[in-house]
Chains A and B, each alone.
Chain A
Amino acid sequence: EAGVAQSPRYKIIEKRQSVAFWCNPISGHATLYWYQQILGQGPKLLIQFQNNGVVDDSQLPKDRFSAERLKGVDSTLKIQPAKLEDSAVYLCASSLFVSGETQYFGPGTRLLVL
């Protein structure tokens, strides 16, 4: 069974530029999560989708971050414009359902904002 796929693996941009990350969850998984992990900290949930609906986005900085999961499968997370403090690893995870199910993580996208 294929795992969670993410691309790109690494990205370097300058502040005020925009960037997009892509995630393809495990086949059949209804729930998809985007996390931000700053160096030395635990993952922080940005947004949680169930199918193509948003379950929680309370920690998503909506003035600059956006995410979509239009067909209930793969998802895109965008940052526009990027700030220095957005430098982090962006992790995507998926789970079968939403009720406390185990999440399976992708390899992450390491973002450096200069």
Chain B
Amino acid sequence: AQKVTQAQTEISVVEKEDVTLDCVYETRDTTYYLFWYKQPPSGELVFLIRRNSFDEQNEISGRYSWNFQKSTSSFNFTITASQVVDSAVYFCALSDLKSGGSYIPTFGRGTSLIVHP
């Protein structure tokens, strides 16, 4: 079973529309960490946000916001008033404990966001 599921392979919107990228994760740990990364066409992964499992407070950073819900194992990402520069592949990732006591990261397959002018 996939530990991180990003069911939306590709989303296409017109500039200024709001868009939500879904992320569902699976873990048995009580302590874990969730991340979102952006991969623009240049290819380098850019860190957006990190959340630990004990902090369910939603976060807003400019046009970006994140909704963490442990009850549904989801960590969704919303871009408000999208812009062409938001076009990229967005990855959700989970770090949880493997045997041996180390946190090991797992990435989802990514959602490609295309914002049309």
Contacts and interface: CB of A to CB of B under 8 A. Distances in A.
Interface of A: 33, 35, 40-45, 48, 50, 55-56, 58, 89, 91, 93, 98-100, 102-108, 110
A33 B102 CA distance: 13
B103 A99 contact: yes
A108 to B, nearest CB: 5
Interface residues of B, number: 28
Interface in B18-57: 31-33, 35, 37, 42-47, 50, 52
Report which residue of A40, A50, A103 has the largest number of chain B beta carbons within 10 angstroms of its beta carbon.
A103
Contact of B44 (A58, A100, A106): A106
B47 A56 contact: no
B100 A100 contact: no
Contact of B103 (A58, A91, A98): A98
A106 to B, nearest CB: 7
**Residue with the highest number of chain A CB atoms closer than 10 Å, among B33, B102, B110:** B102
6 contacts: A42-B91, A42-B110, A48-B104, A56-B100, A56-B104, A103-B47
